[in-house]
Amino acid sequence: MTKVELIEKMAKDADISKAAAQKSMDSFMDGIKKALKKGNKVTLVGFGTFSVAKRAARKGRNPQTGETIKIKASKSPKFKAGKAFKDAL
């Protein structure tokens, strides 16, 4: 399912316009991004938890040359599905 298909389903199920559903979806995703950027978790009971995973700096190897390289520390988004969500599948 794409974002457009999800917005169409939301609009149909909630009996609202696609524009309103689009605005709601954008607000939802923006809220999650802002919370994660601040370092907070976002927990939706029955659905799951969004959080930030921190990766430490480390050494790697260039596979073409075999040269050792430094890989910078980074952050990436993480999602853990809730029990009810897992059970629904």
Share of the chain above pLDDT 90, in %: 97
Q: Is 68 found in the same domain as 33?
A: no
- What's residue 50's pLDDT? 97
Give the CATH number, domain containing residue 46: 4.10.520.10
Q: Is 59 found in the same domain as 34?
A: no
Q: Is 32 found in the same domain as 64?
A: no
| DSSP string over 12-63 | HHHT--HHHHHHHHHHHHHHHHHHHHTT--EEETTTEEEEEEEE--EEEE-T
- What's residue 41's pLDDT? 95
Q: Is 89 found in the same domain as 69?
A: yes
Full domain range(s) for residue 70: 41-89
- What's residue 64's pLDDT? 92
Q: Say what the pTM is.
A: 0.76
